[in-house]
Amino acid sequence: MTILGIGADIVECLRIAKMIERHGELFLQRVFTPYEIAYCQERKAATQHFAGRWAAKEAVLKAMGTGWTRGISWQDVEVRNEFGGKPQIVLGGGAKEICGGMGVQRVLITISHCRHYATAYAIAIGGE
């Protein structure tokens, strides 16, 4: 296995809360997938979970080295959770195409959050 890129991000939970308050469903549907919206809204501290997913999406794009260019949309990077809660990245659209071209086989992610901040760290992994 080869590490092809790393990325990290931190975001203030209050910033995400204000965006949700100001733009509501329009913001949520533009940035998050239906799965992510349902997952976060089921949580007691929904804003922290939305902020964690925001940070994860940013970290993944940094690991890819592309930023939000070349046809990548927010929903192309989805955070899902395994049975025990471990987050995993599911790529689609432009992000999946670009990662395929780079030889990225999977992206590892870790997310942490508290009342004030959410952070994520991503590692893009390729084959040998």
DSSP state of 86: -
Q: Give the number of residues written for the chain.
A: 128
Q: What are the backbone angles phi and psi of residue 5, rounded to the nearest 5°?
A: -175, 155
Active site residues: 62, 113
CA distance 17 to 116: 11
Distances (CA, A) of 91 to 23, 85, 114, 124: 25, 18, 26, 12
CB contact at 8 A, 63 and 120: no
CB contact at 8 A, 104 and 124: yes
